[in-house]
Amino acid sequence: MTGIDIFLCKADTFRKEVSAIFTSMTLIKKRWYLLVIACLINIAAGSIYAWSVFSPAKAAQMSQTLGTTVTAGELSIIFSVANAMCPVTMIFGGLIIDRIGPKLVTVAGGILIALGLFGAGLSTTITELIFTYGILFGLGIGLVYGAVISNTIKFFPDHRGLVAGLTTASYSICAFFLPPIATALIANVGIVSAFEIFALALGGVIVLGGFLSMKCPENFQVSGFAFKSSTRYHSSREFSWRQMLKTPTFYCMFGFMICGSLAGMMIGSQATSIASEKIGLIGQAAALSVSIFALFNTFGRVIAGFISDWIGRFPTILAASGLSVIGLLLLLIADSTCSSLFYASMLILGGAMGGFMGIYPAFTADEFGTVNNSTNYGFMFCACSISGFLGSGVVNYLKGVSNGYELPIQGAVCVTLLGFGFAWLYWRFCRTN
């Protein structure tokens, strides 16, 4: 080998080393841009929370078209179906995401969301609404939500809790600002055009964001970062979904999530009714309770995620459960003579539920690894769907039995306390996998 060949060989080696360093540095910076894109995508996906505004207007349109009375209450099944569809595509979409990345799944989800919203505007029967908004839209939401959160977490081993909180908060913040936008659109252009505008705008944002997304490289690491074993417990292996379902850890976490989120679902779904019937608030004063719950639900996700990066996921979730009990007790004693206690309870309960939802994606990654986290979190998210399905039904049943909200609130307290039982099982037997 000549001197020139040696020189060229060394130059090529040096080029590769520099290129590797540059690529790593670029990706470290790029991940923050990818986080912004992920949050924008989830803001668009959070349009599911606008259903509470769409349903009365859609019911009125269908009543006029069909010549029979259709109520917003009858259309509540549409929202339930949409929520039930989410875990389905989160699981199956997760299998694709974990192998080829989020781009294809996110784009497909955006198209389904657009088709579902567009079709919902044209639907004239409940069956058609179930197919368009309930199934198509719901399946699209599951694809997008799972892809965005699970993939983004992989880029931030050093800030898992914060990133999980930010991405889930982006989804929930729509409950705060999208309803007024939907209300204005319906008032100005009608329910059909409002659905079409939402379809084009939100579907477009998600599809564009999907094309800009990228898969996190395998074995991605952040230079100088190491997990603090003194405050956090991380799995030493990567679990497939089959392996995860065979562990007691999964079922302890699953049960804890059901109990933690069910209380929030029970009260959050009935906030306006509780405000009017128990506290005696009407109009804007009653509606304010929903806004407070939604806003602090969003804040709770970010704050809890940030705190969990420092003190650990489990202690933070325990704190959220404790706050939930305090909020429920305040709600139990609140009455028409002290509405401030009611608003305080909505603030605390919203923040506590947000804490659960914000931490669990990172919690799942900590326990079962990041390689298959998209699929694994899809299975874990089924707990939230179960809570959402049971929440309003349990409240309505207990209210009918007691003819008031005292028994439903007491039931929520019992459910939350049951969650501490699952927490103890996790702490005693599962936390180190």
Model pLDDT for residues 31-46, shown as the tens digit of each residue: 888 899 999 999 998 8
pLDDT tops 50 at residue 230: no
| pLDDT reported for residue 219 | 73
| pLDDT reported for residue 234 | 55
Interatomic CA distance for residues 140 and 428, integer angstroms? 39
Interatomic CA distance for residues 275 and 309, integer angstroms? 36
For the residues 367-377, what does the mean pLDDT come to? 88
| pLDDT reported for residue 84 | 81
Contacts of 213 (CB under 8 A, 6+ apart): 34, 37, 38, 41, 101, 102, 103, 106, 147, 148, 151
Which pTM value belongs to this model?
A: 0.79
| pLDDT reported for residue 6 | 53
More confident residue, 327 or 336: 327
For the residues 365-376, what does the mean pLDDT come to? 88
Interatomic CA distance for residues 291 and 241, integer angstroms? 37
- Rounded to a whole number, what is the largest CA-CA distance in the chain? 94
Residue 148: HSE in the Cβ half-sphere, 13 Å Cα cutoff: 38
| pLDDT reported for residue 235 | 55
Interatomic CA distance for residues 297 and 356, integer angstroms? 10
Interatomic CA distance for residues 299 and 172, integer angstroms? 10
Ranked by mean pLDDT, which of 41-55, 133-147, 282-296 comes out on top?
A: 133-147
pLDDT, mean over the chain: 83
Backbone angles phi, psi at 222, to 5 degrees: -105, 120
26 confidence band (pLDDT: 50, 70, 90):
low
| pLDDT reported for residue 11 | 46
pLDDT tops 70 at residue 229: no
Q: What burial class does residue 283 get, using C-beta atoms within 10 Å of its C-beta: 0-12 exposed, 13-18 middle, 19+ buried? A: exposed
More confident residue, 388 or 223: 388
For the residues 187-194, what does the mean pLDDT come to? 90
Q: Are 360 and 257 in contact (CB under 8 A)?
A: yes
Contacts of 201 (CB under 8 A, 6+ apart): 44
Give alpha helix (H) positions in 123-224: 126-129, 138-154, 160-172, 174-189, 191-212
| pLDDT reported for residue 8 | 45
Interatomic CA distance for residues 140 and 137, integer angstroms? 5
Interatomic CA distance for residues 172 and 42, integer angstroms? 9
For the residues 154-175, what does the mean pLDDT come to? 86
For the residues 172-200, what does the mean pLDDT come to? 86
Site of tokens 């306006």 = 272
| pLDDT reported for residue 12 | 52
374 confidence band (pLDDT: 50, 70, 90):
confident
- 3-class state of residue 49 by DSSP: helix
328 confidence band (pLDDT: 50, 70, 90):
very high
For the residues 379-401, what does the mean pLDDT come to? 81
| pLDDT reported for residue 136 | 94
| pLDDT reported for residue 117 | 94
- Of 346, 349, 345, 342, which is closest to residue 324 (Cα–Cα)? 349
More confident residue, 242 or 47: 242
Q: Are 104 and 96 in contact (CB under 8 A)?
A: yes
Neighbour tally for 247: CB within 10 Å:
16
Structure tokens at 172: 């929930």
268 confidence band (pLDDT: 50, 70, 90):
confident
Q: Which domains does the chain have, with CATH numbers?
A: 33-216 (1.20.1250.20), 228-433 (1.20.1250.20)
Percent of the chain predicted with pLDDT > 70? 89
pLDDT tops 60 at residue 285: yes
